[in-house]
Structure 1
Amino acid sequence: MYKLIEPEVAGGLGKHTQIDNSFFPPIIKKLHYEFDGWLGDDILESFPCYIMTEFLKKAIESEHLTGIIFDEVIISKSEIFLELYPDKELPFFFWAKINGEDNKDDFYITKKNGLAISERAYLLLQKYNISQADIEDLE
């Protein structure tokens, strides 16, 4: 049983992102996530990428969930963020690269470019802040 998760979008791809738009979905070689806001979720999205807090990353690694590897991400705050939340600190985030296979791994990208998670991954994510994510059963 898999679920489809649409995480909070707290910003977008920043100017230091290296992107190859000749493919769909685009291929990201270096990720820069620029925050416009943040409601506190541990998993965030900006198509076609996902980032996760260090806390969630460590939990995923300790549970040996499959279909995901982590890499560095450049994080910045936009002018909007600085105006709205001048004193807000951000935790450490990591780029969550989804490389799993359909119905085999705990994380994979569906044919419609959505993020699918296994029941095992869902049970783990529920222990963290995912209140802004839309989650539904994958048909």
Structure 2
Amino acid sequence: MKYFSLDPECPGSLADDVDLDTSVHPPLVESETLHIEFNTWMESALIEVFPCYCVTRELREAIEAMKFSGCSFAPAKVTKSETFNQFYPAGRHISEFTWLKVKGKTGVDDFGISKDHLLIVSERALSLIKEHGLYQCGVEPYRQ
């Protein structure tokens, strides 16, 4: 099976109320719910807010239906920053997001994290993500 490294859109940052263990790299999120503050959004179904990844509710449901390996999900809360409101003064809807917790073995499972902290997905996972909207994302073939 072919695998790909992804560098997804980063639409904002973790909110101040997210507990991080910064004694390790990458930092570990200790909060049960991931809180993301959006500055902008290009409507991608997969986003990155270092050190985490999130997917839209629709993409999460599709991943679960396909029974892809190497990931689980946890709650995510999304808020709009003042910058976001300045970019979109008429208001703009943001999809419901879920925290994508990647735990798989790179090059074996459908979702994994490489030694250099890149998101690695199988060809079939990439295809599904693209169906749901993958914008502003670098995609490269992954070679172990």
Once the two structures are TM-superposed, the CA of residue 55 in structure 1 deviates from its matched residue by 0.7
| Whole-Å separation in 1 of the counterparts to 2:20 and 2:113 | 18
| Whole-Å separation in 1 of the counterparts to 2:108 and 2:141 | 16
1:80 and 2:77 are equivalent in the alignment: no
1:89 and 2:90 are equivalent in the alignment: no
Aligned to 1:66: 69
Q: Please, what TM-score do these two structures have when normalized by structure 1?
A: 0.96
Q: Please, what TM-score do these two structures have when normalized by structure 2?
A: 0.93
Aligned to 2:17: 16
Deviates more, 1:123-132 or 1:60-69: 123-132
Aligned to 1:105: 109
Equivalent residues in 2 for 1:44-59 (5 A)? 44-59=47-62
Secondary structure (helix, strand or coil) at the match of 1:22 reads: coil
Aligned CA-pair RMSD: 0.9
1:37 and 2:40 are equivalent in the alignment: yes
What's the CA shift string for 1:20-49, capped at 9, x where partnerless? 001111100222111000010000001110
| Whole-Å separation in 1 of the counterparts to 2:70 and 2:92 | 32
Aligned to 2:142: 138
What's the CA shift string for 1:97-124, capped at 9, x where partnerless? 0000122210000000000000110121
What's the CA shift string for 1:42-69, capped at 9, x where partnerless? 0000111001100100000000011110
Secondary structure (helix, strand or coil) at the match of 1:33 reads: strand
Q: Which runs of 5+ in 1 are unaligned?
A: none
Deviates more, 1:122-131 or 1:93-102: 122-131
Aligned to 2:123: 119
Q: Percent identity?
A: 35
Question: What is the total number of aligned residue pairs between the two structures?
Answer: 139
One-letter code aligned to 1:119: E
| Whole-Å separation in 1 of the counterparts to 2:142 and 2:115 | 12
| Whole-Å separation in 2 of the counterparts to 1:64 and 1:136 | 24
Q: Which runs of 5+ in 2 are unaligned?
A: none
